[in-house]
């Protein structure tokens, strides 16, 4: 797909991968709208990136998205790209008696339900464009589970499955002018998804390198962009998923819960 002269909505566009993609795509001659939940952060981003537009909503709360399609149709009727990058990640001890129901569902609501909701709400607009694209950000942990991140791993596996199903429904409905891309990042410490992880961590990929890989994959209409160490995780998930997950668990549980569970 030609990555110029598009109108693009990016959820989670005020930080991390979403912001990195927003800034790169804007310099390529696209109109970028960043969607975020924090009004103060949106103001900061627009100050530093005056060519952006913004929409305030919390993808984990579908009721805040109900007016989005009408707003897009009124202000950006040529919107033809959606990138779902909003995401949160936490390590959780499942034996912790203080682990609340809200904590159990927070990542599901943001990472999975938020992605599904935005795609579903904007699908009618996207299929009307001459060419369109949906990019859903999953993770290398969609292929092999991290025992320290049980909810994150589950949500990203869900994003992977949903993205594949969405692509096939579009093809079956003869809307194959709407390209569906799954962007599969490895660890990208610069995103601060986890504040305890440094850029020296094993498997870390520079944000700029991830953006490069994403742009190339989108240009080539790849159905899936396994970036950096995510390539090895996908292969391990196909060849030896049980052994890989057990080995990862031995390392990561000690790292995140050094005193045991």
Main-chain phi, psi angles of 141, to 5 degrees: -80, 5
CA 135, 32, 59: angle at the middle one, nearest 5? 55
Note if 152 is an active site residue: yes
Cα separation, 144 vs 193, in Å, equals: 18
Catalytic position from the list 55, 152, 172, 256: 152
Other CB atoms within a 10 A radius of the CB of residue 102 amount to 8
| Cα radius of gyration (the chain) | 18
Q: Which residues are catalytic?
A: 152
């Amino acid at each position: 797909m030609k990555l110029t002269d598009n109108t693009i909505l990016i959820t989670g566009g005020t930080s991390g991968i979403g912001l990195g993609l927003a800034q790169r795509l804007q310099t390529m001659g696209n109109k970028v709208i960043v969607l975020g939940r924090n009004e103060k952060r949106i103001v900061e981003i627009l100050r530093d990136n005056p060519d952006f537009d913004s929409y305030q909503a919390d993808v984990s709360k579908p009721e805040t998205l109900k007016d989005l399609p009408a707003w897009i149709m009124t202000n950006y009727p040529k919107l033809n790209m959606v990138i779902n990058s909003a995401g949160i990640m936490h390590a959780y001890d499942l034996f912790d008696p203080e682990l609340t129901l809200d904590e159990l569902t927070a990542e599901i609501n943001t990472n999975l339900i938020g992605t599904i909701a935005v795609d579903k709400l904007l699908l009618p607009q996207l299929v009307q464009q001459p060419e369109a694209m949906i990019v859903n950000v999953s993770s290398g942990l969609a292929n092999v589970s991290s025992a320290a991140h049980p909810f994150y791993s589950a949500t990203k596996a869900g994003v992977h499955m949903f993205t594949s199903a969405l692509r096939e429904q579009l093809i079956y409905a003869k809307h194959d002018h709407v390209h569906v891309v799954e962007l599969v990042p490895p660890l990208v410490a610069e995103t601060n998804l986890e504040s305890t992880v440094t850029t020296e961590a094993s498997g870390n990929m520079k944000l700029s390198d991830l953006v490069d890989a994403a742009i190339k994959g989108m240009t080539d209409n790849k159905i899936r962009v396994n970036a950096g160490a995510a390539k090895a995780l996908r292969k391990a998930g196909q060849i030896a998923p049980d052994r890989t997950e057990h080995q990862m668990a031995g390392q990561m549980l000690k790292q995140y819960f050094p005193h045991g569970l």
